[in-house]
Amino acid sequence: MVALSAVAMLLVAFVGSLFMAWTIGAGSSGSTPFAPAVGANAISIMRAGFVVGLLGLAGAILQGANVSRTVGSGLIQGATLSPMTVVIGLFTAALLVTVGIFTGYPIATAFTVTGAVTGVGVALGGVPAWGTYQQTVALWLVIPFVGSGVAYGMARVLADDRVPTGYTIGVLGVLITAVVVNMPFTILGPSGQSRSISATFNSLLPAIVGISRTVITLLFAGIVGAVLWRRHERSSVNTERHFLLALGCLVAFSAGATQVGLAVGPLLPLLEEWSIPMTAVLAIGGLGLLAGSWTGAPRMIKALSQDYSALGPKRSIAALVPSFLIAQTAVFLGAPVSFNEIIVSAIIGSGYAAESAPVSISKIRNTSVAWVTSLSLSGLCSYALVSVLLIVQ
């Protein structure tokens, strides 16, 4: 009887995780990656939701392990989450994000989940893992300034007639490719480990003198940069559009990698005794992201692509480049971050680069208030609900 109760509660926890994944797919990873591309009329809203769902699923499976481990065991010390407390934390965070989806304000999912897990853990007698929080909060505080600053500067360079756009696109292609070939993928590494494309090529060519990861990176990056430059010389409009869509795909992939851990991370301590592979857990979370992207993302895509700032192709590229780089930094550090915070700050910075594309100050203010409120409210609600549960028991 006890075993059946444990299994039933575990299933309820999985339902809560899927609900959380759906809200993330609908409001964060599903809407933000292609919002600049939609704003630049490079892709339709419905097609963007479809593509970002598939790429988010791939990112969740191939790169989602680091953030999942941090959310599952790196936020609280001295307390073990039970299935019921996991359910409370996940549903509290998911409900707050759902409110943001239907009101049109992108709630920072990382804030709500972190606050909920912290509230649950403290209620159980645990203490926050301050080292993890210092790194995570520092990243949260830096993201708006780095994202908006880099996007603003890049948008100004792309709009400057004195700097050939083809050269700028080529340089950006070199930078992005260098990052891509050094991103860790679980499919390339041995069991339980990840490996990058450059490391894989390096291991396959050990007998060739002078071949190193740096050489391989420069080779791939140089080829992509040269191709982009030559293509831009022949057709600037098509090259910028295709580059923009490629960036959207990379950002969507990175969104799945950073966001799936917010949904499945709290489940990991519960699954240790069941010997469920990490890949299977990430796939389940990725399917939840996929469902959210396909069913709930269009509303938020519209909000981000039109309500915050009207972006053209060049300013959209300027917004997506720092978004991709910041997301991959979070994956490397295993830090839970809000993709809404990343992309909104970049859109704002890029939008400010053009006087003819004013940014909605009231929208920015209301979103910032919603972010701070969601962090504190999710923590307080989760703490209160678990405290009441402990008293009743």
User: Tens digit of pLDDT for each residue in 63-118?
Assistant: 998 999 999 888 888 888 888 888 888 888 888 877 776 776 657 788 889 999 99
d(CA 320, CA 26): 19
Tokens at 30, concatenated: 């599903």
φ, ψ at 242 (rounded to 5°): -65, -40
Rg (CA), the chain: 21
Which pLDDT value is given to residue 29? Answer: 65
d(CA 138, CA 134): 6
Which pLDDT value is given to residue 64? Answer: 92
Q: What is the pTM of this model?
A: 0.87
- Domain membership of residue 373 as a residue range: 2-392
**DSSP letters of 305-337?**
IIIS----HHHHHHHHHHHHHHHHHHHHHT---
Domain count within the chain: 1
User: Tens digit of pLDDT for each residue in 334-391?
Assistant: 999 988 788 888 888 887 876 555 555 666 677 677 777 888 888 999 999 999 988 8
Spatial CA neighbour of 306 closest among 58, 38, 115:
38
d(CA 144, CA 348): 9
Asked if residue 31 has pLDDT above 80, the reply is no
Tokens at 247, concatenated: 């960036």
Section 230-242 average pLDDT: 90
Which pLDDT value is given to residue 176? Answer: 96
Asked if residue 140 has pLDDT above 50, the reply is yes
Which pLDDT value is given to residue 386? Answer: 92
Contact 197, 180 (CB under 8 A): yes
Tokens at 200, concatenated: 């894989």
**DSSP letters of 54-79?**
HHHHHHHHHH-HHHHHHHHHSSEES-
Given pLDDT bands bounded at 50, 70 and 90, which one contains residue 28?
A: low
Which pLDDT value is given to residue 1? Answer: 42
Which residue matches tokens 């192709």? 313
According to DSSP, the residues that pair with 128 across neighbouring strands are: 76
d(CA 136, CA 324): 18
Higher per-residue pLDDT: 211 or 166:
166
Mean residue pLDDT across the chain: 84
Asked if residue 15 has pLDDT above 80, the reply is yes
Section 305-330 average pLDDT: 81
Given pLDDT bands bounded at 50, 70 and 90, which one contains residue 304?
A: low
Asked if residue 296 has pLDDT above 90, the reply is no
Asked if residue 45 has pLDDT above 80, the reply is no
pLDDT above 90 covers a percentage of the chain that reads 33
